[in-house]
């Protein structure tokens, strides 16, 4: 949606003529309509709209590129099943890690609500409610369907998360509902376990003492788990593997199959890919090309998945064991965008539709190649249920499954009758299962600081020099594993500018820079619609700059849904003033050159979907923001009025979030010249100020006990993979050292309580003190809300940028 550019309502002057500069003169730079050594900026849509659209399209291109490069990440050996298994062991372990199935399972025990001997006594099929142990404090519940005689095989039947286990046992009235596969397998002599999956209902998502939400249960667990390096997918795969632990302990010789439809198909395939004890797998209604993963419900979002795995690659981890793919209909899901949701509008949008048959066939062909190269082409099979739109668990799919585990194909013309020993309360069961996963994840949160301490214990804090070497290693870890690293821009910034404001004390230019230009033939002649990454913002120049003078720069970063001009306006009746207090204008009036970048967190779902598109290829929104700032710093350093060694960062709210992620990743780098003097090779931020954001960030993202938590709000893009075990705000802030770092904090800021802020900052102060540079970090508390205070922070800037306190422009 095109919104009117805020510049139009705030700027003092907006000119369309172009005056190109051929030389520099401090006395006349503010008379230019286009900044010296730049081209005229032609921009019809708002900068933020163009930026967000370009990054979003660029991310889609990168998904396609990842698919093309995927084979390079494998070294499959097809000479024998044993050699093949060994050659893909690394990828098998990677899959386990990225779905968070990493915790040790407890000893497998199964609790029966009734005596399992009932089946033999009644000489009929019986479904018994059972509970089995999985992780510490986590169980799984479902139905165990007992055959009349000794079982000849075992199977785990996974319904879609919209179905109940009972629907796998009993046919609905008049044949409605899903095919009761569990009953049919049991009638053929199979011991069948049907787990209950967490659904996308939302009745228990929240905390009744704080807030209840419309977040689906699966997403509710996903949010908190993702931050801890865990996942709803991984938790439920662990439940499947724990069931196999039990089945193998009780019936070691039986062949084991897993089969599932929809969400159950996803879990069946992942479980079979990870665990080679599984002899056969039926995936119904899930398998297809996965490059549109970002459109599916967010609980399917898996960090870094698509770099290594499409569905065919996950299937290749099952080879040469039996795999049946069924193209069929599944329960469809439509979680609307937030502007179409009913209050409280907090669930992430997503859709599940029946997979197009062409997509299933195409991905199946890729998977079949690996079975063929192994010489086991008969072990993989595609079944099409009524042109791909028929019900899951068709007769052909069931026959393929039963024959693979040694059962006969013969079936009764009528559905077998099963006695339910007890009818479970499905709602109460769902709440128990959800609560267990929430509690398990909260325990991970409460112990995560110890995990981080152990991870960072090897850092050398004995001296500034020692820390600088250690920091480089930890900086790379955070950038690669948590934020996601892009290659650095390798093109000139190609600056385009236009004058947008002028006052008695300052001149402002809107700026656009290239970061990753379009790399494919354009679909449109209008560059504003191209899939490219740009950087942009407003450059404010004090009018009293003298010829030959180089001044410090303050890069001031706006918050969520903001624009650069929000930080410039001095209209005290505006909403922007309430948060920013015209901070960019205040700073330029103190003599600083100010650059106010546009960051791409504007447009609600339009920008949040960038996170969705980027996570599956190991990136995040900040992957792009870091490189935007890198290119911006390079350009600022070329300006004749800028001292490249004195470029500071100051950000509010989401800009404060930026302050602990971007400057720590962008330290100035030095090269040694022939005369052994250090010279700047790549400019970086010389200091960072985090305003209205610094707190116990991991707790804020994971806790379901605190009203400040994002588990209750619409900001579903906040979650960063495994941050809880990699780096909190204290660890990120230490990566600024030995550069100065400051926190600005209002007592009434609703981001978090003072106690969280002080606790997290104390670790930073200790770090700086131990390095002997305690005077380079500080925190200012003030009696106020979520806003700029501009007292201690201005003094901090002037002291560390070596700028006179009494300078007035």
pLDDT of the residue at 339: 62
Q: How confident is the model at residue 805 (pLDDT cuts 50, 70, 90)?
A: confident
pLDDT of the residue at 27: 52
- Residue 749 exposed, middle or buried by CB count within 10 Å (0-12, 13-18, 19+): buried
Question: Are the beta carbons of 645 and 686 closer than 8 angstroms?
Answer: yes
Average pLDDT, the chain: 91
CA Rg, the chain, in Å? 30
Strand-pair category, 211-212 with 39-40: unpaired
Cα–Cα distance measured from residue 270 to residue 266, given in angstroms and rounded to the nearest whole number:
6
- Sign for the pseudo-dihedral over CA of 43, 49, 54, 57: negative
Cα–Cα distance measured from residue 256 to residue 258, given in angstroms and rounded to the nearest whole number:
7
What token pair was written down for 298? 């967010």
Q: How confident is the model at residue 119 (pLDDT cuts 50, 70, 90)?
A: low
- pLDDT for 534-557, tens place per residue? 999 999 999 999 989 999 999 999
Question: DSSP letter string over 680-724?
Answer: EEE---SEEEEES--S-HHHHHH-SSSTT-GGGSS-GGG--TTHH
What token pair was written down for 422? 């007890």
- pLDDT for 461-474, tens place per residue? 999 999 999 999 99
Asked if residue 738 has a cis previous peptide bond (ω within 30° of 0), the answer is yes
Question: DSSP letter string over 539-572?
Answer: EEEETTPPTT--EEEEEEE--TT--GGGGT---T
In terms of Cα–Cα distance, which of 234, 325, 235 is closest to 280?
Answer: 325
Question: DSSP letter string over 51-117?
Answer: HHHHHHHHHHHHHHHHHHHGGGG-----S-HHHHHHHTHHHHHHHHHHTT--SPPPPP-EEESS-TT
| Among 125-129, 214-218, 367-371, the least confident range | 125-129
- pLDDT for 568-606, tens place per residue? 999 999 999 999 999 999 999 999 999 999 999 999 999
H helix intervals, 107-254: 118-122, 181-187, 217-227, 232-250
Asked if residue 2 has a cis previous peptide bond (ω within 30° of 0), the answer is no
Tell me phi and psi for residue 496, to 5 degrees. -125, 135
Instruction: Spell out the SS3 assignment of 329-362.
Output: CCCCEEECCHHHCCCCCCCCCEEECCCCHHHHHH
Over residues 263-282, the mean pLDDT reads 98
In terms of Cα–Cα distance, which of 720, 647, 630, 669 is closest to 301?
Answer: 720
Cα–Cα distance measured from residue 563 to residue 601, given in angstroms and rounded to the nearest whole number:
10
In terms of Cα–Cα distance, which of 580, 656, 638, 647 is closest to 803?
Answer: 647
Tell me phi and psi for residue 326, to 5 degrees. -115, 120
Question: DSSP letter string over 248-264?
Answer: HHH-TTS-EEEEEETHH
- pLDDT for 685-726, tens place per residue? 999 999 999 999 999 999 999 999 999 999 999 999 999 999
Question: Are the beta carbons of 561 and 3 closer than 8 angstroms?
Answer: no
pLDDT of the residue at 558: 98
Question: Are the beta carbons of 134 and 236 closer than 8 angstroms?
Answer: no
Over residues 334-362, the mean pLDDT reads 85
Strand-pair category, 593-597 with 533-542: antiparallel
- 516 - beta bridge partners? 533
Count of CB atoms situated within 10 Å of the CB of 356: 13
Q: What percent of the chain has pLDDT over 70?
A: 91
Q: What percent of the chain has pLDDT over 90?
A: 84
pLDDT of the residue at 172: 74
Cα–Cα distance measured from residue 389 to residue 360, given in angstroms and rounded to the nearest whole number:
12
What token pair was written down for 195? 């787990």
Q: What's 482's DSSP letter?
A: I
Cα–Cα distance measured from residue 777 to residue 774, given in angstroms and rounded to the nearest whole number:
6
Residues of the chain by 3-state class (helix, strand, coil), percent to 5: 40, 20, 40
pLDDT at 676 over 80: no
Q: How confident is the model at residue 424 (pLDDT cuts 50, 70, 90)?
A: confident
pLDDT of the residue at 2: 41
pLDDT at 8 over 90: no
Count of CB atoms situated within 10 Å of the CB of 225: 25
Over residues 348-363, the mean pLDDT reads 97
pLDDT at 519 over 80: no
Q: What's 243's DSSP letter?
A: H
pLDDT at 629 over 70: yes
């Amino acid at each position: 949606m095109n919104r009117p550019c805020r510049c139009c309502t705030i700027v003092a002057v907006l000119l369309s003529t172009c005056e190109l500069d051929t030389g520099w003169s401090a006395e006349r730079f503010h008379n230019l309509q286009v900044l010296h050594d730049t081209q005229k900026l032609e921009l019809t849509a708002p900068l933020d709209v163009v930026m967000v659209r370009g990054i979003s399209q660029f991310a889609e291109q990168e998904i396609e590129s990842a698919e093309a490069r995927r084979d390079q990440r494998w070294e499959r050996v097809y000479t024998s099943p044993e050699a093949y298994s060994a050659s893909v062991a690394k990828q098998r372990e990677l899959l386990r890690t990225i779905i968070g199935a990493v915790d040790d399972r407890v000893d497998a025990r199964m609790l029966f609500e009734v005596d399992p001997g009932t089946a033999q006594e009644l000489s009929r099929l019986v479904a018994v409610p059972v509970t089995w142990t999985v992780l510490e404090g986590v169980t799984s519940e479902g139905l165990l369907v007992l055959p009349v005689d000794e079982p000849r095989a075992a199977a785990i039947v996974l319904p879609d998360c919209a179905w109940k286990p009972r629907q796998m046992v009993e046919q609905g009235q008049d044949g409605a509902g899903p095919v009761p596969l569990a009953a049919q397998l049991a009638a053929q002599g199979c011991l069948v376990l049907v787990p209950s999956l967490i659904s996308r209902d939302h009745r228990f998502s929240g905390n009744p003492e704080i807030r209840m939400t419309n977040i689906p249960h699966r997403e509710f667990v996903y949010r908190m788990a993702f931050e801890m390096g865990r996942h709803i997918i991984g938790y439920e795969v662990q439940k499947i593997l724990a069931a196999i632990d039990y089945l193998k302990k009780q019936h070691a010789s039986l062949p084991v199959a897993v089969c599932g439809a929809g969400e159950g198909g996803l879990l069946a395939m992942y479980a079979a890919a990870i665990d080679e004890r599984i002899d056969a797998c039926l995936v119904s209604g899930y398998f297809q090309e996965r490059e549109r993963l970002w459109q599916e419900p967010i609980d399917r979002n898996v960090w870094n998945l698509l770099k290594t795995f499409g569905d065919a690659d996950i299937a290749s981890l099952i080879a040469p064991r039996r795999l049946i793919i069924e193209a069929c209909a599944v329960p469809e899901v439509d979680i609307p965008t937030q502007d179409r949701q009913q209050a409280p509008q907090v669930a992430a949008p997503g859709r599940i539709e029946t997979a197009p048959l062409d997509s299933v066939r195409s991905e199946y062909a890729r998977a079949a190649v690996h079975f063929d190269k192994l010489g086991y082409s008969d072990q993989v099979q595609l079944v099409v249920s009524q042109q791909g739109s028929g019900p899951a668990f068709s007769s052909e799919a069931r026959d393929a499954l039963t024959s693979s585990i040694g059962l006969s194909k013969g079936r009764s013309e009528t559905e077998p009758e099963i006695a339910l020993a007890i009818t479970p309360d499905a709602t109460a069961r769902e709440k128990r299962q959800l609560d267990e996963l929430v509690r398990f994840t909260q325990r991970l949160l409460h112990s995560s600081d110890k995990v981080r301490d152990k991870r960072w214990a090897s850092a050398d804090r004995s001296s500034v020099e020692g820390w600088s070497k250690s920091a480089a290693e930890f900086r790379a870890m955070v950038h690669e594993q948590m934020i996601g690293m892009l290659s650095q821009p390798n093109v000139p910034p190609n600056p385009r500018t236009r004058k947008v404001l002028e006052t008695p004390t300052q001149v402002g230019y809107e700026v656009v820079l290239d970061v990753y230009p379009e790399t494919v033939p354009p679909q449109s002649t209008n560059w504003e619609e191209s899939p490219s990454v740009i950087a942009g913002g407003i450059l404010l120049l004090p009018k009293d700059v003298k010829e030959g003078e180089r001044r410090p720069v303050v890069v001031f970063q706006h918050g969520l849904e903001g624009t650069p001009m929000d930080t410039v306006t001095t209209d005290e009746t505006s909403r922007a003033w309430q948060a920013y207090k015209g901070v960019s204008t205040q700073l330029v009036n103190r003599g600083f050159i100010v650059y106010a970048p546009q960051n791409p967190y504007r447009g609600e779902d339009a920008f949040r979907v960038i996170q969705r598109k980027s996570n599956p290829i190991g990136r995040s929104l900040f992957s792009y923001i870091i490189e935007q700032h890198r290119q911006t710093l390079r350009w600022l350093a070329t300006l004749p009025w800028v001292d490249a060694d004195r470029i500071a960062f100051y950000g509010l709210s989401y800009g404060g979030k930026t302050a602990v992620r971007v400057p720590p990743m962008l330290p100035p780098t030095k090269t040694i010249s022939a005369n052994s003097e250090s010279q700047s090779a790549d400019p970086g931020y010389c200091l960072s100020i985090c305003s209205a954001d610094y707190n116990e960030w991991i707790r804020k993202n994971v806790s379901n006990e605190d009203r400040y938590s994002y588990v209750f709000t619409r900001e579903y893009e906040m979650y960063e993979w495994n941050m809880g075990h990699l780096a909190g705000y204290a660890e990120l802030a230490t990566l600024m050292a030995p550069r100065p770092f400051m926190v600005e904090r209002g007592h009434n800021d609703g981001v978090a309580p003072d106690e969280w802020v002080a606790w997290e900052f104390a670790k930073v102060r200790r770090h700086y003190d131990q390095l002997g540079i305690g005077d380079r970090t500080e925190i200012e508390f003030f009696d106020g809300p979520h806003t700029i205070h501009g007292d201690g922070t201005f003094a901090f800037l002037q002291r560390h940028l070596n700028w006179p306190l009494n300078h007035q422009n």
